[in-house]
Structure formats: C-alpha cells, structure tokens
Structure 1
Amino acid sequence: MPPWYVLVALVFAVVMLGTTLPTPLYGLYRAQFGFSEFVVTVVYAVYACGVIAALLIAGSFSDVLGRRPVLLVGVGFAMLSAVCFLAAHALPLLFVGRVFSGFSAGLFSGAATAAVTELAAPDRRGRATLTATVANMGGLGCGPLLAGLLGRYAPYPLRLTYVVHLALLAVSAAVLVAAPETVPRKVPRPPLRVQGMVVPAQVRTAFTPAAIAVFAGFSVLGLFTAVAPAFLAEYLGVDDIAASGAVVMSAFLASLVGQFLMGRFGVARSLVLGCVVLMAGLVLIGTSLLTKELGLLVAGALVSGTGQGLSFRSSVATVSRVAPEEQRAATLSALFVAGYVGLSIPVVGIGAVAQGPGLRAAGLLFVACVIALAAAVSAYLLRRPVPVP
C-alpha cells in the first residue's frame, strides 16, 4: 500500500482536476447557451472568487479542526459542483457550479498541502512538499485533457465528464475517512476565527516576493485555462476540443517538470530562475499571437509552464519552511490567495479588452504586463536574496 501522504496527494489531484474540467467544454456551452467570450472569463473568474473566499474565511480552520474534516467538506463542495454542471440547462447553474468548485479548491489548497507534508516521515518532508505541488498542478492539467477526450470521443460530453468525476470523488472521500489525522486534538478546542490574510511578521520578507511570483505564474495558467481554447479556434483553426485540452494540459505538465527541476537548482535560485523562464515563455506566447503559429504557442506553454513550476514549488517550499507550525496552513492559504487573484483578475481583463480590440490585442497587453511584473520580482530578488532555513 502506498504511504498515506501519496494517497492524500492523489485525492488532492482528483479535486483539482474537477476545477479545470470545463476548460475545453466552454465552446460547447457557448453554442448551447449563447454567451460571449467575455462571459466565459467571468464564469472562470467566479471560480477564483470562490477559491479566495474559502481561503480567506476558512484558511486556518484545518489548524484548529484538523485536516481531515476540512478536506471532506472540500470533497463535498466538489461533488455539489459536479451535480450543478450535470443539471445545467442555463448559465446560472454554471456560475453556481464554479463557485462550489472554487470553495473545494480553496479548502484543499492550504489544508491538503499541509496534510501531505505532515503525513510524510521527517526524512521525506522535502519529497512530500514536491508531491503536494505535483498533485495540485497535475490535477489541474489532467482536467482539460480528460474533458477534451470525453468531449471528443464519448457520448454526452457535458454530462459524462461530471459522472466520471463524481465517481472519482466518491473514492476520494473513502480515502480521507481512512486517512490518519495529523493535527492533535486540542482540549478545549480554540474558537474558529476568520483570520483573512495570515502572514506572520517574521515571514513577510520571504512571503512577499514568493506571493508576487505565484501571482505572475498563476496568471499565465489562467490565460491558458480560460481563453486559450477560444484563441486556438478563432485564430488557428483548431476547434478539436481534445486538441485544445492537450495544449492547455501541456502548460501544466511543463509546470510539473519545473517543479522537479527545482531540486537541482535549489529553493532560492529557483525563485529567480522561474521568473526568468516565465518571461521567456511569455515572449513566445506573444510572438505566437502576432504570427498565428501553433508551434510557438505550444512552445510558449511549455516554457512558461516550466518557469511557473520552478517559482511555484520554490515559493511553497520557502513559505512552508519559514511559517510557524501552528499557522502553516493559514500562511499557505494566504500564498494561494495571491495565486488565485492572479488566476482571475488578469483573465477578466483579457475578456473585457477582447470586446474592443479583440482577443489577440488583449493577449498581447497581458503578456507585456506579466513580463514587467516577473522582471520586477527577478530584479528585487537579485538585489535581496531571500534567506531560506
């Protein structure tokens, strides 16, 4: 039997998989419900708002209640989301489903990362941190591929996809029920408090550049999961949803490669290197928007995904090491808030700008802004390297 930290990481991946299942299906929803690309970005951003709300309200709850109860509630929200998409016959249920999906991801982001790390033996904590980030990004990447394949080759794509996910969630719930609890029961139990953004003073020097790097990296992932399928169909003539799902997945797979590479470069160097590689990928994406070359877009997805993976894993590792044990999940939740703000606000901006000059002009503006942000983080870290214990 695999160690518990691996099994809980697989549950983490299953929940995150559900959050990106709609990505290649948005074109089918647009045809069925008759809404614009801007509405697609708003539906996508509603998910991120759900994530942020869960992180801000309940980011510290697992430090008090324990990891398992919070994770089980997260699986419940993921099931509710799948049911909403199964029953959707109009736009409102898509919004509700995305909010529930956001709640599930928000509850899992900090609590599951902490649980996976804590379930590992002390000599495997580094490997467990990698396992948690791989589960997060791997699950996000598998969602578009699974939905794209089912949408292209199986019947009832807008229904079967969520039936499959519900089955996976049922198995995940059983795993969590059997998994050990890692947070000692406290008597009397401290009261639950909405702590908002919890960043202890001694953590802020390391937290700030890590959070900005995570914001930049997640904004690129948001570009692919929200609008890349539309760009592929509109400018490159790629309207096969399995192919568009594969392109989106390539960015997440590259993120996994970047996370593995961090072990070679070290935590501190990977944060700077990740931002530099992210900028190189953005240059390729911008060039693909100008030339309408599919190969350059895929190359941009691979390179920028690698940079995102490097900076993301190093950011999580840095914050995990410097955060006090009793506030680890809450501090990690604050880090993920930065990521999901990056995942939502720039994407809505792209959708709004696309209503005027068009999707390509909006994409180019996005590329320029994120390059400037990543460059600023790199310059700051080169002048003031973050000490990592």
Structure 2
Amino acid sequence: MPSFTTPPRAPASGWLFLGVAFAFLLTMLGTTLPTPLYPVYQQRFGFSQLMITVIFAAYAVGVIAALITTGRWSDQVGRRPLLLGGLLASAISDVIFLNSDGLAMLLAGRVISGVSAGIFTGTATVAVIELAPDAWKRTATFVATAANMGGLGLGPVVAGLLGEYAPWPLHLAFAVHLGLLALALVAVWLARETVERPAHPRLRLQRLTIPPEVRGAFLPAAIAGFAGFAVLGFFTATAPAFMNEVLGHDNRALVGFVAGVVFFASTLGQLMVNRFPQPWRLPIGCAVVILGVGLVGAGIGLASLGVFLGGAVIVGLGQGIGFRAGLGMVTAASPPDQRGTVTSTFFFVAYVALSIPVVGIGLTARAIGLAATGMGFAVLVGLLSALALVLLVRRQALAPSA
C-alpha cells in the first residue's frame, strides 16, 4: 500500500478561498489581454490576418500540451505546486510580451500563456471547490466557473481600455497584470494543500479515450462543444479585424468590450442551466447558439454593430448553457473510474475548436474576403449546432425503447 504525505488541515478560510479564485481569474485574464491589441501588432509588424490567427492558435497549442502533460499531476504533487507553476508561466508570458519585437516572441508568449491556462483550467477549478468554506460550498462551482470565464472576458476589456486611453498601449496591460500576479502568488502560497500526496509521485500523461458506452452521449456533446468554443475563438482572435475592417470601429476599448461580452454571457448561461429540465439543457443551448450565430452573421452582412453585439450576447448564452450541459451529460454517462479521462478528452475537443477554425478563417479570408468568410463561419457553426441538436433529439426519441 502506498504511503502518503498528509497536508496539515487548517480551517477553511473564506479569504484564502477567494484569493485562489482571484488567482484563477487573473491567470485567465492574462490569456486574452492581446485580443484588442492584435490590430496594433498587425500594423506594427506587417502581419497578415492569417498570421494573427496563427499567433492566436499558438495559445491553444499550449493549452492542449499542458492539459495532456499535467492533467493528472495535481493529484500526485498537490494543487499548490501546479498553481504556482501556472502563475509562473503567466508571468513569463507577460515578460515576453513586454519585450516582444516580432513574430517569434509573440508566438512564444502565446504558447506559454496557453500553458498557464492549461494548468489552471483543471487544477484551479478543483482547488477552488475544495477550499470553499461551508458558507460557500453551494456556490463554489459557480465561483470557479465565473473566475474562469469572467477572467477570459475581462482580459480584452482591460487591455482595450488601457490600450486606448493610457500610455504605452502595447505594454501597460501586461505590466499591470505582472504586478497583480504577485498578489495571486501570495494567495496561492498561503492556501492550504487539499490533497494527500503519495510519497513517490507517478507523473503520467493524461490519456484521451472514449469508452464505448459513453460514445452516444459524447458525440452530440462534443459537436456542440466544438461549435461553442469555435465561437469563443472567433471573438478572441478575429473580432478585432471584423470590428475594424467590416463594421468600421477601431476603438480598442470598444473592440475589447465586444470580445469580452461573449465570455460574460457564457458565464450567465452556465448559471442559468439549472433552470431548464435536464434532458433539454443541451438542446436549448444548441438552439440558442444557432440564433446567436445567425445574428452575428447578419451583423457582419449588414455591417451593423448593434446586430453583431446582440448576436455575441445570445451566442455566449447558448455556449455557456451548452458547455455546462454537455460536460454534465458526458460526465454522467462515464464510468466513475474513467470520468477524468473522458472529461480531458472533452476539453481536448473544445480547445482544438479554439484553434483550427480561426486559422481556417485566416486562410479563407485571403481568398473570398473577411465579410464573406465571417458569414460563412456563422453558417458552419449553425450547421454544427443543428447537427448536435438533431442527434440529441434522435437520442431522446430512441431512449424509451432502449
């Protein structure tokens, strides 16, 4: 029987719980800081829109690499060491962006930023829930979700405001973020460890598999998740280009707000999901995404900021409902001893959706133009969501006879 190193069990502290949640929010905020600044990088370094999407996609490479490599490490070495490592990666990314002088450093900064997000996505979610004092137990999962998606949404807003109205537009946001990371470091350092660590940790890669009995639930959930995360990638990587070149708005604060609102709406959607009957949560999410991307596409076609922004809010709500419902459906269908593996596979699909479609947008825009590409992307996401919806309705129709 393996021996364990048992962490000291200090009483749960509301302040330390909120401190780790703050570290989670701040790390995710750092990953989306470049969004409203992409047009500035594009102009300063002469990048094409395709190169901007490649720079963004490098982030997803870092996330996926960290998820596969460190996905199971926090159970072996503890939550705090992984969280401290994620904060270190976030700080290194800031330093690289502060000194960036071209493509190589921007790519490196995005990859390392992705590593910080990949470490925090799983580890911090669990740590926040485990650290919650009794008064926060019922809302701990939502606090973790809000820290994750809220941080992603605040990144473009903060960078847009500083980039538009403060000096040092390409650097100030990263300098401020780097300073705040020091507070997050203290919060994580003071937090108690929440797992019993084996005396001889076994650090293995996270396996990505789907057991046969889970595939019926996994397929529609993964398709819906892919569609939803493709939309998040669209707003994070290419919304600045659409705002500037199609809608005629180049104010960085406005660009940051539009890019961030989809994440705020996603957080609200995840909070709303329990209001719907369980069998209809994911279908409702798919239907709302279809409506939202329809408005996004119409906003691009009409060159209307109001329609485009309304679509962003609605598609964010649908993404949030669909993501939480899909993850819950997949987890419920998984054998208890394989839930971690199936969840990791689900996240892998989601983060692939952040990168491949936006690179496709960059390639397609060179051939048919940005506006046509945006409308085509909206149609594609709508079709994927409709496919997931059909599969879900069919699955429910067949369920009674199973």
TM bucket (normalised to shorter chain) is: over 0.9
Residue in structure 2 matched with residue 221 of structure 1 by the alignment:
232
CA distance in structure 2 between the partners assigned to 1:99 and 1:76 by the alignment:
14
1:39 is the counterpart of 2:51: yes
Instruction: State the shift of 1:79 in Å.
Output: 0.7
Change (3 A) 1:328 1:13: farther
Deviations 1:17-65 (A, max 9, x none): 1111000001111121111111100000011111111112221212222
CA distance in structure 1 between the partners assigned to 2:257 and 2:236 by the alignment:
11
Residue in structure 2 matched with residue 68 of structure 1 by the alignment:
80
Residue in structure 2 matched with residue 111 of structure 1 by the alignment:
123
Q: Percent identity?
A: 48
1:269 is the counterpart of 2:280: yes
SS at match of 1:35: coil
Change (3 A) 1:281 1:292: same
Is the 8 Å Cα contact of residues 27 and 90 (structure 2) preserved in structure 1?
A: yes
2:181 to 169, 178, 182: 169
Deviations 1:115-163 (A, max 9, x none): 2233336896552222222211101000000000000111001111101
Residue in structure 1 matched with residue 161 of structure 2 by the alignment:
149
SS at match of 1:83: helix
Written as runs of structure 1 = structure 2, the 5 A alignment for 1:228-307 is: 228-307=239-318
SS at match of 2:106: helix
Residue in structure 1 matched with residue 384 of structure 2 by the alignment:
373
Is the 8 Å Cα contact of residues 246 and 370 (structure 2) preserved in structure 1?
A: no
Residue in structure 2 matched with residue 99 of structure 1 by the alignment:
111
Instruction: State the shift of 1:210 in Å.
Output: 2.7
Residue in structure 2 matched with residue 55 of structure 1 by the alignment:
67
Instruction: State the shift of 1:297 in Å.
Output: 0.2
Alignment length (residue pairs): 386
TM-score by length of 2: 0.89
Written as runs of structure 1 = structure 2, the 5 A alignment for 1:192-203 is: 192-199=203-210, 203=214
Instruction: State the shift of 1:255 in Å.
Output: 1.0
Residue in structure 2 matched with residue 350 of structure 1 by the alignment:
361
Instruction: State the shift of 1:330 in Å.
Output: 4.8
CA distance in structure 1 between the partners assigned to 2:128 and 2:332 by the alignment:
14
Is the 8 Å Cα contact of residues 279 and 374 (structure 1) preserved in structure 2?
A: yes
1:20 to 28, 32, 46: 32
Change (3 A) 1:127 1:209: farther
Instruction: State the shift of 1:319 in Å.
Output: 4.7
Is the 8 Å Cα contact of residues 254 and 302 (structure 1) preserved in structure 2?
A: yes
SS at match of 1:180: coil
2:141 to 107, 122, 129: 129
Deviations 1:218-257 (A, max 9, x none): 1001111111111111122101111111111111111122
CA distance in structure 1 between the partners assigned to 2:326 and 2:138 by the alignment:
13
CA distance in structure 1 between the partners assigned to 2:334 and 2:20 by the alignment:
22
SS at match of 1:85: helix
Higher mean Cα deviation, 35-44 or 1-10? 1-10
Instruction: State the shift of 1:7 in Å.
Output: 3.0
Written as runs of structure 1 = structure 2, the 5 A alignment for 1:181-196 is: 181-189=193-201, 191-196=202-207
2:90 to 68, 73, 78: 78
Unmatched segments (≥5 aa) in structure 2: 1-12
Higher mean Cα deviation, 180-189 or 102-111? 180-189
Written as runs of structure 1 = structure 2, the 5 A alignment for 1:320-339 is: 330-339=341-350
TM-score by length of 1: 0.92
